[in-house]
Structure 1
Amino acid sequence: MSMPFNAATAAYGQAQNLISQAGKSQPTPVDTQAAGPNFGELVSQNLQSVVEAGKVSDQTSLDMINGKANVVDAVTAISQTEVAIESMVAVRDRVISAYEEIMRMPI
């Protein structure tokens, strides 16, 4: 599967826009000390780390193509990105599952 580099860059840009929009639209809890960490912020931070891992992976791949990096560095960067994406998908699946379970609860 071959994807143009500008398409990947555009996808990262769109993800960055979603992250910035998600961070702005989160309501603040009434009692911030008792509320604990904001779930929206945690998701936003994790999504940002996935985007950054993808950028590093793309840059390392380009460096390898240009002869500035070795294959081991490129494979490592791609593997780290893959792990980050799989983790984010697992969290998404758990959130969806929890939402579906809450929706099945009687009122």
Structure 2
Amino acid sequence: MDSAALSAVQSYSASRAATQPGKASGDSMFGRMAMDFAQTLAQGEQVAQQSMTGDADPHALVQALAQTELAVETAVTVRNKVVEAYQEILRMPV
């Protein structure tokens, strides 16, 4: 094996770790956002159930519904931006 090929193999093996997928943990920003989104929806659902049984005041219900609506609108906006970016990438000439 010549030195250029050996250098290429060493470079590939050094950069290979950077291309490996990370652990599926909630440590990433996207993971934390997804967990916060799910938690907000669950909290809104819990307050809605409590208000139906008479355990929560109407102000808490309105506040929980507003937070849930904001979370859903944010998620939809992020999704739309991701789809828009993907479509823009598809339109790029190769």
CA shift, 1:44, in A, is 2.4
Distance in structure 1 (CA, Å) of the matches to 2:32 and 2:86: 21
CA shift, 1:43, in A, is 2.4
Structure 2 residue runs without a partner (length 5+):
1-19, 23-27
Aligned twin of 1:27: 21
CA-based RMSD of the aligned residues comes to: 1.8
- The structure with the larger Rg is 2
1:95 is aligned with what amino acid? V
CA shift, 1:84, in A, is 0.5
Higher RCO, 1 vs 2 (CA within 8 Å, ≥6 residues apart): 1
Distance in structure 2 (CA, Å) of the matches to 1:47 and 1:84: 10
The share of aligned pairs that are identical, in percent, is 33
Q: TM-score, normalised by structure 1?
A: 0.60
Aligned twin of 2:14: none
